Homo-oligomer: A and B are copies of this chain.
């Protein structure tokens, strides 16, 4: 008999029919009577003081109903990081500029009009007088001693410095037989979701505002909007309809969220704002581009003794997630390998460019590219099999890393073996003809953050409530945000399994700050472990209430009961049972109160604690995922073109609540890192974007994509619900180095600068040939 009835099954997502039929209504689909359309006026200069904003002509344009500027909002800046010690977490962005603009695209004013054309026309009528300031488009320029400060609050244009030192790095290098040192760089990229940002705000005359937002973090938006508008948080209701992808960028309370509310308040009518694709390119949060200096000390036998890692990030004009980003780029290096000793310095600098924040694989993509490429070089130099060098240094289940990460489960070795088996490593590595090669890379990721960077006092990390209906159905309330990954189905499967009912018996109400329990949102791959954990607890608590009643009905001991097939049975006596629907009715008859349960997930005691970004010794997550990608490529030495043939992507998700969903996550996420490896590159000239459409910014299409073979590895974690861990951001972290290493196997060149374009390939080949 199978262990589980609902989980571990390839079930279609609850929202699948709605999505494929066009039935799903996204934020931009909402229409309210009397609704206006809003547009944002953006800076056309990269750095300037605002001397004056004259909105009078715009206000007089027929059809314009409201014009808002920085004067219409409070003096509290907004941002993702709100609760934690300064200076790490400084919020530095206003929805509408107060005194300065800091990049081309920075928000200055917002207009609401009867239609979009009128709103656009009104933008042209707003006159902004600037006093232009020197603008800096690279960290090097920006950090110059005589540079004008981009933000007054900072002593220089360095926005964040994170550094820590684990173990004795001097000793580590001293004990090393070899020290490898190299420099790497990665580019700015976009999150590139299908659905652009959208907001509909309805500010009522009673002083309450309801917003439908395309967001990953409705509760954070609620607070940011309340603080920006200067009204109590309880006056703000944020509802997240279906979202067409977020990938981190929708964890920002971007200006349209607050501006739609401000305009609605001024106009007394609902306001819709949808960002154009161009605005998505120029004015939403990007992934950090970094330059890296990395030093690894190893013994002859391949044992890593010391790592010294310096990351230097171009942050753009505002802080956004900066402190977290820079911290993670360091701390997430502490897996899947033991580092012996570890030193890290992460510096992030303000420039007059669009700001960088958190994008899928946040903080892990850049260092993983560096480490896994260097592991390949080291294994070659030491003549150790690249699989073996990874296994010998690997962290193991039960271990605690020098960064204090507790490894509860680890499927790394299994993932590694399965990925190389799938790619045919034995027969291909170093054996394919010139121009063809295979490469591999492993990875490591968190299953959610054990810290609140936003709330001083969150009620819990995730809460779920369940209501029972007399027809045997249950309604599950969750504040988690399904942004396309299928998390509502995951939570429903977990609850259904625990309650012994089919998935069709669970309805989910999600992501409405007024009716669903507070949840921190969808980021850091937290939803399955945190939200799913809460769902399991809530379902268990519901089951216990039902067992109390059923024990009476069945004249049995509560401990002897089990729930399955929508009934409650006396174990071992299948003829003694009662339906769950009748048990619910029995509860109502007896208790005369509504039958509800709740569950709250909080990380265990050995996780979290004081968030010491300066020490780097803190267990940041309840549990960690592992995985390996093995990739086969063809490199055309004439054109420099890289054709990826196949990626075998093995991911240790602990336990696959829904294998089809895990595979979907693997396939979908690799599209992003595949693009970052080879195609995507956000480029600017003097602060102007020259890649602000999908014509110029090359995202991988289905034509470009290789065959992806997702491989699920299950390590059955002790902390995650039913053993599950994340299957979200971690699934794409190994892609880039596995491609880079395959290129090396194919043509013998080390690519250290992203994206790996044909031009760079040709230049490297030339250099290599020249060098011969």
Choice from B204, B469, B595, B598 contacting A18 with Cβ under 8 Å: B204
Given A233-B473, A473-B233, do A594 and B23 touch, yes or no (CB 8 Å)? no
Contacts of A507 in B (CB 8 A): 208, 234-235, 514
Q: Cβ of A588 and Cβ of B458 under 8 Å apart? A: yes
Q: A134 at the A/B interface (Cβ < 8 Å)?
A: no
A452 to chain B, nearest CB (A): 11
Contacts of A598 in B (CB 8 A): 593-594, 596
Q: Cβ of B471 and Cβ of A23 under 8 Å apart? A: no
Q: Cβ of A585 and Cβ of B457 under 8 Å apart? A: yes
Contacts of A589 in B (CB 8 A): 457
Given A25-B33, A31-B31, A593-B600, do A588 and B460 touch, yes or no (CB 8 Å)? yes
In the complex, which residues 183-210 of chain A have their Cβ closer than 8 Å to any Cβ of chain B? 204-208
Q: Which of A15, A21, A509, A592 counts the most chain B CB atoms within 10 A?
A: A592
Q: A602 at the A/B interface (Cβ < 8 Å)?
A: yes
Q: A232 at the A/B interface (Cβ < 8 Å)?
A: yes
The range of chain A's interface size is 35 or more
Task: For the complex, give the distance between the alpha carbons of A25 and B30 in Å.
Answer: 14
Q: A705 at the A/B interface (Cβ < 8 Å)?
A: no
Choice from B33, B457, B467, B593 contacting A588 with Cβ under 8 Å: B457
| B interface footprint on A489-517 (CB within 8 Å = 1, 0 otherwise) | 00000000000000001010100101101
Q: A85 at the A/B interface (Cβ < 8 Å)?
A: no
Q: Which of A457, A458, A509, A598 counts the most chain B CB atoms within 10 A?
A: A457
A559 to chain B, nearest CB (A): 25
Choice from B18, B470, B594, B600 contacting A205 with Cβ under 8 Å: B18
Contacts of A456 in B (CB 8 A): 585
Q: A14 at the A/B interface (Cβ < 8 Å)?
A: yes
Task: For the complex, give the distance between the alpha carbons of A464 and B684 in Å.
Answer: 56
Which residues on A are within 8 Å of B, measured CB to CB?
14-15, 17-18, 21, 23, 25, 29, 31-33, 204-208, 232-235, 268, 455-460, 463, 465, 467, 469-471, 473, 475, 477, 505, 507, 509, 512, 514-515, 517-518, 585, 588-589, 592-596, 598, 600, 602
Q: Can you list the 9 inter-chain pairs with the closest CB atoms, starting with the nearest?
A: A234-B473, A593-B600, A21-B205, A463-B594, A515-B515, A23-B205, A457-B585, A459-B594, A17-B206
Task: Known pairs A23-B268, A25-B33; list 13 more (Cβ under 8 Å).
Answer: A29-B33, A233-B469, A457-B588, A459-B588, A459-B594, A460-B592, A460-B593, A465-B594, A465-B596, A475-B514, A507-B514, A515-B515, A593-B600
